[in-house]
Structure formats: structure tokens, C-alpha cells
Amino acid sequence: MIDRFSRALRSVFLPAMLSAAALTAPVATGAANATATAPNAQGFGVRLVASARKQTWLPVIYNPAYAKIDYPMGDVPWYFGVCTDVVVRAYRQHGIDLQALVHRARVGTGDTNIDHRRVPVLKKYLARYGTSLPVTANGADYRPGDIVTYYLPEGRSSKTHIAFVSDRKNAEGVPLIIHNIGFGVKEEDWLFGSKITGHYRFGAELEAKPKS
């Protein structure tokens, strides 16, 4: 079934697939766990947002089904994804493999197929190894590349959600977010769209350095 679906998508979205090869190909993994407090953290956040934004160019179908994937650097097919995949894929463009980091930190169940794709597990990891920031109703407190977690009382497939804070803002100066809440990867005016349960900054010190 998946093979037939993949062939159908390939015939319709071949240009997008060529883009996906470049946008989702992982970079070599960086160093061990570290807190994102480096001086270049703000610049890293903007670069992270740029990587997440590229995912909005692809026709990703929201599919929360469990799937067996490679380890490390494993991923579901590019045309499938959930909110956590937006985060995982963006970080991999900077040499940071959350699948491996989450597994090594032992913050999940030990299942490398799914732990890093679960919001509660990522939230636990970010709280432990990232910088936990205040949850406020002031958009100015949220910087590009920050990660925000949510509680969705009306959520069908999940009551939890995760998103990136964008470097773009609405007319009132409130940052947009980049996320997949069920309709593909979108950049939207939704920072305060539901109850925020966590606000984190992570990864600047782990970013893979370009080869000279």
C-alpha cells in the first residue's frame, strides 16, 4: 500500500521530491549534549528557522502512525510527518540528531523508532539539556528558533504539540510559528493559539561547523 502511494506521489510531486532530498539530507552529527547558551545562539536560531521554513515547500501529509526507522539519523518518508518531525528535521540540517540525543539521554522508553517523535519525550529532553525559558503572553519574549510546546484540549490524534518560533511577525509584532498541526508544515500566526506548556532554546553549541 505504501509503495503504491509512494509511486503515485512521485509522479505528481517529483520536483518537490528533488527538493526534499536536499532539505532532509542530514549533516554529520555534532558533539555531545550541551546547553544552548553560546554567543551565537541568536544567529543559530535564525538559521534553524530557515531550515524549518524550507519544509513548508514540501507536500507533507500528517501521519502519526508508528514506523520502524533507521538509527541513528532515521526518518519516516519525507512526505509523512507530524509536529515533532518538523523539529527533528530542522535540527538535522545543522548536524544535530535528536533521535540519537534523546536515546542516549534515556528520557524515553528506549524505542529509537518513536521516542524522539513524541512531544512529552522531547519536552523532557529540552527541559533537561536545553535552556528553559519563561512562558509569557508577551511575544517579545520569544526569539527565532525557540521551541514552544502546547496542550491541545481539542486535539484528536494528540493533546500535545510542538513548534518553532519564526523570525517573522504579525502586524502586532507577535512572532509567527512554523509547525505541522495536521495540515502539513505551515508558517502561521499561532504562537498563542493554544495553551503553552513549555518554552525552550537548544542546540547552538552543537551546530556542526561548515567544512573549510
Residue 200 belongs to domain with CATH number: 3.90.1720.10
- CB-based contacts of 36: which residues, under 8 Å, 6+ apart? 44, 130, 131, 201, 202, 203, 204, 205, 206
Q: Give the domain range for residue 72.
A: 35-206
Flag whether 21 is in a domain: no
pLDDT tens figures, 66-77: 999 999 999 999
Task: Using alpha carbons, select from 90, 85, 118, 89 the residue that is nearest to residue 102.
Answer: 118
Q: How many domains does the chain have?
A: 1
Range in 17-31, 142-156, 192-206 with the lowest mean pLDDT:
17-31
Q: Which residue has the cell 509503495?
A: 3
Flag whether 51 is in a domain: yes
Summarize the confidence of residues 100-123 as an average pLDDT: 99
The values of phi and psi at residue 146, to 5°, are -60, 150
Beta bridge partners of 209: none
Is the pLDDT reported for residue 161 higher than 60?
yes
H-only helix segments in the chain: 2-12, 14-24, 41-54, 83-92, 98-105, 119-129
Flag whether 43 is in a domain: yes
pTM above 0.75, yes or no: yes
pLDDT tens figures, 165-179: 999 999 999 999 999
Flag whether 87 is in a domain: yes
pLDDT tens figures, 139-154: 999 999 999 999 999 8
Flag whether 179 is in a domain: yes
Flag whether 2 is in a domain: no
pLDDT at 155: 82
Flag whether 142 is in a domain: yes
